[in-house]
């Protein structure tokens, strides 16, 4: 399988097979920028290079701190999502009003965050999970696990229940199996699992292909 091939590639590079497994949230990628600890800018990740300015609507999301716990300049990335229950409530209301129903949580989240009226975005009860720190070395961080913990201490919503450090292919497969079994009972949609090499030095050594990091793989259900 792809997972076994990925693990074999990591071992071939003589890198310790210690990974962080995370849920692949079905939503909309976001980049949050802070100056002196205050949120100044939020953008969709777009094509990975350019994105849309969605600051006015992101400020209505309760789990996005307008001010973090340290007066530092930082960028963090994550996912904006709509909980399953919110989509159900929204569609019930739209049905009564004779409006077309929203097809899925991803489209609903994307449509909500692009609303011109911030009040509508606020009513949609969007939420976030933050999972990536682009320049961890600036903060003396050595592993992805440490980066997640650091972002949590700053006040970001990090999926501590889901994120798991595993060693080797067997623990990785066990995590996938457990997650697959509880997927339907989660209050939000996930469409897979992202597996990342934990050591940031190893990530750097592995580098990127033209499209993807060589130190991560997305397992899709």
Catalytic positions, please? 24
Phi-psi region of 125 (alpha: psi -120 to 50; beta: other; left: phi over 0): left
10 Å CB burial of residue 93 (0-12, 13-18, 19+) is exposed
Phi-psi region of 173 (alpha: psi -120 to 50; beta: other; left: phi over 0): alpha
Contact 10, 17 (CB under 8 A): yes
Quote the DSSP letter at residue 183.
G
Residues 6+ positions from 209 with CB-CB distance below 8 Å: none
State the Cα torsion 158-21-112-73 to the nearest 10°: 50
Structure tokens at 4: 């076994």
């Amino acid at each position: 399988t792809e997972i076994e091939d990925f693990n074999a590639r990591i071992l071939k590079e003589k890198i310790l097979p210690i990974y962080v497994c995370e849920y692949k949230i079905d939503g909309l990628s976001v980049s949050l920028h802070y100056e002196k600890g205050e949120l100044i800018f939020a953008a969709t990740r777009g094509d990975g290079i350019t994105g849309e300015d969605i600051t006015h609507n992101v400020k209505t999301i309760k789990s996005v701190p307008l001010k973090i716990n340290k007066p530092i300049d930082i960028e963090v990335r994550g996912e904006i999502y709509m909980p399953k229950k919110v989509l159900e409530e929204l569609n019930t209301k739209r049905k009564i009003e004779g409006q077309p129903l929203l097809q899925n949580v991803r489209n609903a989240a994307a449509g909500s965050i692009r609303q011109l009226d911030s009040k509508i975005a606020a009513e949609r009860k969007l939420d976030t999970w933050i999972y990536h720190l682009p320049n961890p070395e600036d903060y003396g961080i050595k592993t992805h696990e440490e980066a997640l913990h650091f972002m949590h201490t700053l006040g970001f919503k990090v999926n501590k229940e889901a994120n798991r450090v595993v060693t080797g292919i067997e623990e990785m497969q066990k995590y996938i199996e457990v997650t697959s079994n509880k997927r339907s009972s989660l209050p939000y949609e996930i469409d897979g699992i992202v597996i990342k090499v934990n050591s940031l030095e190893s990530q750097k050594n592995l580098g990127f292909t033209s499209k993807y990091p060589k130190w991560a793989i997305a397992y899709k259900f």
